[in-house]
Structure 1
């Protein structure tokens, strides 16, 4: 049985989703995004859930984005369907957050990059600290800043959007 890196709990009317893959700075795997989406789908129409908080167990990061090593290894192994499933799952969890219909709060401390930025940016509320480091570094390895970046970069002041979209920082 695979170890889960997503935990969920309900306290009062708050649903809590905790990312728990600290050694990888909570880099998202296909299993993690599927689990987050399944939890959100369960809670979406549950009247006992008034809002959701997405947090991290890692001291250094909210989420470092998608697990690029896993994606690379999957593609090099020729498992294109598996790679497609990861990206599809990542986009579907971002869509589930954006369309959730109840407040979702992202508690972002430390690294918030790529897919982690996608998780946070689609929430209704983002709480950041003085140690939050937000970036879209996939541009440095030739990937388009996805996870809804065309939406949230369009909401940024133009110089900030250009900086993030073209350099990742």
Structure 2
């Protein structure tokens, strides 16, 4: 029996998932709380494995499924190849394996490109803001999840940078910076 499968994605836990498919009859929801810049999202991977021929994946809007045009097209092709339709509520567009609609394809490419452009502009503004804040000494980066003392103590014990990073769940770059500051 075919199912309506809702895919919802928000970037942060503070964002509300309810509004995305509010009022839409869905048999099962798949919800991600992460960036749409990659296809490696837990709920999306689960949805891809779960969906069956005849199902329909319902998404609020194009940007919720993918934030770049290549991933967007690849995902739609993936679902369609499995016999699964993809419906975007906000744009009023549906993509199925047996439906060839040149206007929908054009709109998908245009809107997907706009969402990709929007994301790239946001990241550029973010980089500019960080650079400006750094130049006036107001940006120090993210605070450490472990104490500097723990890292220094392990360095003095002769542990390798990689092992310290692995054990403490931090990047090797962080360990290297702290090592450099005490040398």
TM-score range, shorter chain: 0.3 to 0.5
TM-score by length of 2: 0.30
TM-score by length of 1: 0.32
- Bigger fraction of residues in helix: 2
Quick check: which one's strand share is greater? 1
